[in-house]
Amino acid sequence: MSLKALKEHKLAEIIGAGLESEDKALTRLDDVKNRIGEEIFVRGWVYRKRHLNDVNFVLVRDGFGIIQSTIRKNEVDKSSWDYSEEVYIESVVKLIGTVIEDERAPEGVEIKVREFKTEFKGDPFPISKDQSTEMLLDIRHLSVRKQGIMNALKLKAQLVRSCREFLDNREFIEIQPPMLNVSACEGGSTLFEVKYFDKIAYLSQSGQLYSEAVVAAYPLVYVMAPSFRAEPSRTPRHMTEFWQLEPEMAFYNQNMNMKLQEEMIEYVCHELAKKQKSILERFKRDPKDLLAIKAPFDRITYTKAIDMLKEKGIEIKWGDGIGLDEEKILTKELSQPVFLTNQPKVLRAFYMKENPEDPRTVLDADMLAPEGIGEIIGGSERISDYNELILRMKAQNLNQKDYEWYLDIHKYGQVPHSGFGMGTERVIRWMAKLETIRDAIPFPRTMNRLYP
Ligand code: 4AD
Ligand code: MG
């Protein structure tokens, strides 16, 4: 702080100079309730503003919390008052004041302001209360500041952190597969084409095939990366770009694969419940729901699921796909996830190993989240036999030329192996009871949305 500023008592300059550069001087808004009676310095964005006679109530947010500050005309100098008069929603402000208890304030405390300054006034913020979802998505670069989105992003970060922790503790290593590929992992119909010099490349649908190569070098790997799907579906659970966590394990059979999944989901549910309790509560999710998630989860074979659906009066027969509607019916009443296993071979990906007990089906499992959410994980034991793989690729009309390298790994030191892929946004949709997975990613991409 310059001596000149002090002498001339230019309050704005005093707040502007120095104070915030001393770490300790800046109080985070989630800490204000612990500082009753103290004079503190805070800065943040104007969240809301109210005016009553000669008092301005300015709610300030800083990403950690939201606190009300009160600026009384007869208690502050003119410059502070003028600043508090001029600010817009989302203007950046800094202030010095004393923390007092006030049960009328949203957090039970407020800051009685001594000095107030606008750091960045900006333009009037274009988001008001009753804007349509589409309009808010059009200006996602601004609406990403909304509390609901920010909280979902915090949960997502915790989920990813906890998953990594779980796998790292078991000596998995994280690897990075290419995003530009020559062939499909999950079927040709949802590939995005990219011009690659004089060739065509495809955006990765999954890192799985590459992980299957790497598990022959080190047996426990995982990928946390975007997956791209030219998915024309307009549902609350599909995007064209989403983040998938994909562990792949050498020497794991399908039972070991499912056990790992349920233990991981139990772990992350408990971690979220413990570490993000207040955010979950804001989403009307009782953390106890997540603490109650306990492995092992039930396993329902596809054949049994078809019978269950028929019993409920649904028109469906063996061989039909189980889609969103059916998954909803199967999971509506549940409070724990469940595995849907052994689906018909013809409906499933080419790399899934045949079920020796019923060769019409494969050794796969989708983990369905409860409360009608449905699939959050897809996984399987992989075909490890070269000839079985060739036959399956022929049956599915896949061009072997595109998969030569993948076939190659089945010729040299191949072992039984399994893996799974978890859609991170779908998990957050379940845990935070979100309407749509679009709110679990800062900038969603769907068939109709490539901007901003
Ligand atoms: O079931 P999927 O297609 O499986 C795979 O990609 C395998 N290669 C995974 C593996 O075994 N390594 O996708 C896996 C998960 C789904 O269960 C779902 O949670 C999510 O990814 N997912 C999507 N999430 C959002 N939008 C979409 N369009 C999604 N498609 C799949
Ligand atoms: Mg799937």
User: Nearest ligand to the C-alpha of residue 241?
Assistant: 1
**Coil, strand or helix at 254:** helix
Query: Do residues 381 and 253 lie in contact, with contact meaning Cβ atoms separated by under 8 Å?
Result: yes
Taking 80 as the threshold, does the pLDDT of residue 56 lie above it?
yes
Q: What pLDDT, on a 0 to 100 scale, did the predictor assign at position 189? A: 93
Please give the Cα distance from 98 to 113 (Å, whole number).
7
Predicted confidence band at 141 (pLDDT cuts at 50, 70, 90)? very high
Contact 376, 423 (CB under 8 A): yes
| Backbone region of residue 293 per phi and psi (left: phi > 0; alpha: psi in -120 to 50; beta: other values) | beta
Check residue 20 and give its pLDDT: 46
Peptide linkage before 444 cis (omega within 30 of 0) = no
How far is the C-alpha of 360 from the C-alpha of 367, rounded, in Å?
Answer: 21
Which of 227, 348, 417 best tests ligand 1's pocket when mutated (most atoms within 8 Å of CB)?
A: 227
E-assigned strands of 2-120? 39-52, 55-61, 66-72, 92-101, 109-120
Look at residue 446 and tell me whether its pLDDT is greater than 90: yes
Closest ligand to C-alpha of residue 367 is 1
pTM for the full predicted model? 0.94
Of 418, 415, 353, 344, nearest to 379 by C-alpha is 418
Measure the CA–CA gap between 239 and 230, rounded to whole angstroms.
9
Whether 345 lines ligand 1, by a CB cut-off of 6 Å, is no
Ligand nearest to the CA of 420: 1
Smallest CA separation from ligand 1 atom 22, residue: 423
Q: Cα(322) to centroid of ligand 2, in Å? A: 11
Higher per-residue confidence, 287 vs 188: 287
User: Tell me: the pLDDT tens digits for 217-251?
Assistant: 999 999 999 999 999 988 999 999 999 999 999 99
Lowest mean pLDDT among 11-15, 35-39, 194-198: 11-15
| Residue whose entry in the numeric block shows the structure tokens 């274009």 | 126
Question: Backbone phi, then psi, for 136, in 5-degree steps?
Answer: -65, -35
Question: pLDDT tens-digit profile of 367-387?
Answer: 999 999 999 999 999 999 999
- Pull the structure tokens for residue 22: 């001393």
Token pair listed for 57? 């109530």
Strands 173-174 and 220-228: what pairing?
parallel
Mutate to test the pocket of ligand 1, among 366, 418, 426 (most ligand atoms within 8 A of CB): 426
Compute the distance from residue 156 Cα to the ligand 1 centre, in Å: 17
CA–CA separation, 59 vs 64, rounded Å?
Answer: 13
Atom of ligand 1 nearest to the CA of 375: 17
Cis before 356 (ω within 30): no
Find out whether the beta carbon of 327 lies less than 6 Å from any atom of ligand 1. Answer: no
pLDDT, average across residues 323-330: 97
Lowest mean pLDDT among 32-41, 100-109, 222-231, 278-287: 100-109
Task: Tell me what pLDDT residue 144 has.
Answer: 97
pLDDT at 177 over 60: yes
Q: Is the pLDDT of residue 10 over 60?
A: no
Phi, psi of 404 (to 5 degrees): -55, -45
- 245-279 pLDDT, tens digit each: 999 999 999 999 999 999 999 999 999 999 999 99
- Do 334 and 294 form a contact (C-beta atoms < 8 A)? no
Band of residue 66 on the pLDDT scale cut at 50, 70, 90? very high
The DSSP bridge pattern shows strands 55-61 and 39-52 to be antiparallel
| CA distances in angstroms from 272 to 56, 119, 399, listed in the order given | 38, 36, 44
Is 221:240 a contact under the CB 8 Å cutoff?
Answer: no
Q: How far apart are CA 231 and CA 239, in angstroms?
A: 7
The angle subtended at Cα 11 by Cα 10 and Cα 13, nearest 5°, is: 70
**Residue 378 Cα, ligand 2 centroid: separation in angstroms?**
5
Calculate how far, in angstroms, residue 396's C-alpha sits from the geometric centre of ligand 2: 17
**DSSP character at residue 209:** H
DSSP-derived secondary structure letter, 33:
G
Q: Which of 380, 406, 399 is nearest to 214 (CA)?
A: 406
Distance in Å from the first CA to the final CA of the chain? 40
- Ligand 1 within 6 A of 337 CB? no
Model pLDDT, residue 271: 98
User: For residue 15, what pLDDT is reported?
Assistant: 56
Establish whether residue 430 lines the binding site of ligand 1, counting it when its CB lies within 6 angstroms of any ligand atom. no
Strands annotated E in 122-280: 173-174, 180-181, 193-196, 199-203, 220-228, 241-250
Eight-state DSSP code of residue 363: S
The residue whose CB lies within 8 Å of the most ligand 1 atoms, and thus the one to mutate among 210, 242, 363, 446, is: 242
The mean predicted confidence, pLDDT, of the chain is 94
One-letter amino acid for residue 292 of the chain:
A
The answer to whether the beta carbons of residues 253 and 341 sit under 8 Å apart is no
**Percent of the chain scoring above 70 in pLDDT:** 95
232, 447 contact by CB (below 8 A)? yes
Residue 12 has pLDDT above 50, yes or no: no
Which of the 8 DSSP states describes residue 382?
A: B
C-alpha triplet 203, 205, 208: angle, nearest 5°: 120
Cβ-based neighbour number of residue 79 at 10 Å: 17
All structural domains of the chain, each given as residue ranges with its CATH number in brackets, are: 3-120 (2.40.50.140), 136-440 (3.30.930.10)
Residues 331, 310: contact at Cβ < 8 Å?
no
Q: What is the pLDDT of residue 25?
A: 77
With a CB cutoff of 8 Å and minimum separation 6, the contacts of 366 are: 339, 340, 343, 375, 377, 378, 379
Report whether 272 contacts 280 (CB < 8 A): yes
Look at residue 16 in the predicted model and tell me its pLDDT: 55
Q: Higher pLDDT residue, 63 or 14?
A: 63
Confidence of residue 14 (pLDDT cuts 50, 70, 90): low
Buried b / exposed e across 130-142, counting CB within 10 Å, b at 16+? eeeeeeebeebee
Which helix (H) or strand (E) element contains residue 298? strand 298-301
